[in-house]
Chains A and B, each alone.
Chain A
Amino acid sequence: NAGVTQTPKFRVLKTGQSMTLLCAQDMNHEYMYWYRQDPGMGLRLIHYSVGEGTTAKGEVPDGYNVSRLKKQNFLLGLESAAPSQTSVYFCASSQDQGPQPQHFGDGTRLSIL
């Protein structure tokens, strides 16, 4: 019953450091997404993937990179962290882009000092 699993759950970085957020889903979903959630704002799409080996930019992709080497995993990288990237990051997956809902992980709370 794992669904979507994100690691780590919390992280504090210094400006300029790099890190990778991991997302794994066990539902055999084709589509995967990375969002950020900031106070007073809706979820904003960073990058998404429509299948293994594919990635595409979302609404706010700058400063982030992603990879989907395996169908079940979707990685989000911060190359040089900035304080503006302090946020809660959610990974989600869905079977398609139509009526099927997205299933979310528990989130990663990231602070950049």
Chain B
Amino acid sequence: GQNIDQPTEMTATEGAIVQINCTYQTSGFNGLFWYQQHAGEAPTFLSYNVLDGLEEKGRFSSFLSRSKGYSYLLLKELQMKDSASYLCAVTDSNYQLIWGAGTKLIIKP
């Protein structure tokens, strides 16, 4: 079966750095997305990785290792507005998006 694992919840301090991990087992791989979803709102696109390595976008970076079936999202200089759920999603061999359950990130002052 297809499976994506993320921690259910994480807590971090304002101004700090946090790493959210995602491991996947899917039938084929055609890219990995990270989305942010604030409570009661729609998911919004953060990043896309299809090749191994690190993609940096301002305070957010995403890393992919295809051989390990592993990705992480790194958030630096955390702000209170970063409190949200972070969703990992993998495009499988049929180009269907398989979604993880999301990691709820709580930022404390």
Say if the beta carbon of B101 comes within 8 Å of chain A.
yes
Say if the beta carbon of A75 comes within 8 Å of chain B.
no
A-B contact count (CB 8 A): 47
Q: What is B's interface to A at a CB cutoff of 8 Å? A: 4, 8, 30-31, 33, 35, 41-45, 48, 50, 87, 89, 91, 95-102
Task: Answer whether A98 and B91 are a contact pair too, CB < 8 Å, given A90-B43, A106-B41, A106-B42.
Answer: yes
The closest CB in chain A to the CB of B6 belongs to A42
Q: Count chain A CB atoms within 10 A of each CB in B42, B44, B87 and give the residue with the most.
A: B42
- In angstroms, Cα B40 to Cα A106, docked, is 8
A76 CB to nearest B CB, Å: 16
Q: Is A42 a contact of B41 with CB atoms below 8 Å?
A: no
Name the interface size band of chain A: 10 to 19
The closest CB in chain A to the CB of B31 belongs to A99
Contact with B along A96-113 (1 / 0, CB 8 A): 011101111111000000
The closest CB in chain A to the CB of B43 belongs to A104
